Structure 1
Amino acid sequence: MIAVVVTRAVPDHLRGYIGRFLTEVVPGVFVGRTSRAVADRIWERTSLAVEDGASAIVLTDASREQGYEIRTAGSEPPNILDVDGLHLVGLVGPLIGREKTEGVKEST
């Protein structure tokens, strides 16, 4: 299975641990081929040690419609929605363009 781990503001010991199993291609982004058991151990340790930072892991999963699964952890992880087997990322924030449409009537 292919695993991708993305970290932000995590302790150095965690980056060192992940680096034992995966290659750090750019700071905070790890990629590699591993077994499901090793990927689960990496995620277990990552989710416990994340503290004030954030982390996400993407794993190949042939049983899912998209062919992968997403897990997130940290102080403010995004909302991952599972809609009929598809992972969608729900972002919370201001609506783009809202100020342009205020006061504009919808056509009927």
Structure 2
Amino acid sequence: MFVTLRITAVPDHLRGYLSRFLVEYGTGLYVGNVSRRIVDSLWSRVTDAAGEGEIVLVTSEATNEQGFKVRLHQGRGKEVVDMDGFELLRSIPEGAYYDSEPFPD
């Protein structure tokens, strides 16, 4: 499974851990090809250790139209929404309340 991971403002030890499985091509940008089990393990470990850091994980996914899946941790005013099978990133205005509907009236 192809993986792209972007981390921002995370502890240094997390960078070392990620370099065991993925290659860092830029500051905080990791890319690799690992099994689904490793991806799930990485996601769990990274989100547990991230603190206030932001994490975006993009993995290949053959079961949807886009061919990839996005996971977001500490999105700082952003969230991933599913729009008829397409995963899009939506900005959330500060203090806004949204229910589970993709775009409230």
Q: Aligning the two structures, in what range does the TM-score lie when normalised by the shorter sequence? A: 0.7 to 0.9
Partner of residue 97, structure 1:
none
Matched, 1:33 2:33: yes
1:21 Cα shift?
A: 0.1
- In the alignment, the residues of structure 1 paired with residue 10 and residue 74 of structure 2 have an alpha-carbon distance, to the nearest angstrom, of 9
**What 5-or-longer segments of structure 1 have no aligned partner?**
94-108
1:51-70 equivalence runs, <5 A: 51-70=51-70
1:74 Cα shift?
A: 2.1
| Greater Cα shift, 57-66 or 67-76 | 67-76
Amino acid at match of 2:26: V
TM-score by structure 2 length? 0.83
Partner of residue 3, structure 1:
3
Cα offsets for 1:27-61 (capped at 9, x unmatched) = 10000100010011011111111111100100000
Q: Which has the higher helix share?
A: 1
- In the alignment, the residues of structure 1 paired with residue 75 and residue 33 of structure 2 have an alpha-carbon distance, to the nearest angstrom, of 28
Q: Is the 8 A contact 1:59 1:70 kept in 2?
A: yes
Paired residues, number: 94
Amino acid at match of 1:78: K
- In the alignment, the residues of structure 2 paired with residue 42 and residue 77 of structure 1 have an alpha-carbon distance, to the nearest angstrom, of 23
The residue matched to 2:65 in structure 1 has which SS?
Answer: coil
- In the alignment, the residues of structure 2 paired with residue 77 and residue 71 of structure 1 have an alpha-carbon distance, to the nearest angstrom, of 14
Q: Is the 8 A contact 1:3 1:57 kept in 2?
A: yes
Amino acid at match of 1:61: E
Q: Is the 8 A contact 1:52 1:75 kept in 2?
A: no
Amino acid at match of 2:21: F
TM-score by structure 1 length? 0.81
In our comparison, the structure showing a higher alpha carbon Rg is: 1
Amino acid at match of 2:92: V
Amino acid at match of 1:33: N
Amino acid at match of 1:88: L
1:75 Cα shift?
A: 6.4
